[in-house]
Amino acid sequence: MRRKFIAGNWKMNTSRAEGVALASAIAAKIGASSSVDVAVCPPSVYLEAVGQAIKNSAVGLGAQNCYHEAKGAFTGEISPQMVRDIGCAYVILGHSERRQIFKETSQEVNRKVRAALAVGLTPIMCVGETLDQRQTGKTAAVVREQMELSLAELSSEQMLKVVIAYEPVWAIGTGVVATPQQAEEVHADLRKLLETRYNSEVASAVRIQYGGSVNAENAASLLSQPNIDGALVGGASLKADGFLAIVTAAQTT
């Protein structure tokens, strides 16, 4: 049984005080244990403050990115070691905004995934097609290639520690959510790819989140699909009530 996993990707939002208040409200409701995994991913400069706010709760902490090197002359970057040191369990890697705006390639995402795994972080590795790619029938080829390249050279043991997030680019921040059937089709295909590349145990154990305009209203129908194991939530994770409603949907589907 795959444990559902709801993560909030705050992106470049909140002040320090707003972030601490949001995290505190989520932690207060979740408490010390939860039947689903829950995490918040604030901007890196607020990781410590938000980490303090969720300290006595079951809410996990994640970063939104990291570099693949441990240390050195890489101005402006943060290393997986630093992400771990500040108390994170998770790091989002290869988000479509990183791939599109910051030109990250799947090869670079792969270096980051391996560096994150090496220090014990759980990467949340994102894949997803653009609207044009979907409309021209390339969805499966695009997400399969992103996954193959971004997760290259991982052993079964390493693969089991990775969370995949399927986030169609056309659904991110647009209010246009994938239908449960559209999402399920891709999730099932990614799981099939895991079975081909690894084996059925790995394929049935790896969690695949859906992301892209998930909210309190549409969460249950997505999360009730057999291959959708959680959600990576952007906009709707910035309000405690909305985010908690998605967690509740995960707990009850």
Nearest-angstrom CA–CA distance, 224 and 253: 5
Told to judge if 77 belongs to the known catalytic residues of this protein, a careful annotator would answer: no
**Category of 231 on φ-ψ map: left (φ > 0), alpha (ψ -120 to 50) or beta:** beta
Minimum distance of ligand PGA from residue 217's CB (angstroms): 13
Minimum distance of ligand PGA from residue 67's CB (angstroms): 20
Minimum distance of ligand PGA from residue 20's CB (angstroms): 21
Beta strands 208-211 and 163-166 are: parallel
Which range, of 76-84, 110-118, 217-225, 229-237, touches ligand PGA by CB under 6 A?
A: 229-237
The one among 19, 94, 212, 242 contacting ligand PGA by CB under 6 A: 212
φ, ψ (nearest 5 deg) of residue 130 = -80, 170
Interface pattern 127-146 for ligand PGA (x via CB under 6 A): --------------------
Three-class SS string for 50-100? HHHHCCCCCEEEEECCCCCCCCCCCCCCCCHHHHHHCCCCEEEECCHHHHH
- What are the residues whose beta carbons fall under 8 Å from the beta carbon of 28, sequence distance 6 or more? 57
* Site membership for ligand PGA, residue 167 (CB under 6 A): yes
Nearest-angstrom CA–CA distance, 60 and 210: 18
Catalytic residue among 97, 129, 167, 184: 167
Residue type, position 236, single letter: A
The one among 26, 159, 214, 219 contacting ligand PGA by CB under 6 A: 214
Told to judge if 167 belongs to the known catalytic residues of this protein, a careful annotator would answer: yes
Minimum distance of ligand PGA from residue 97's CB (angstroms): 7
Given the rule CB under 6 A, which residues bind ligand PGA? 9, 167, 172-173, 211-214, 232-236
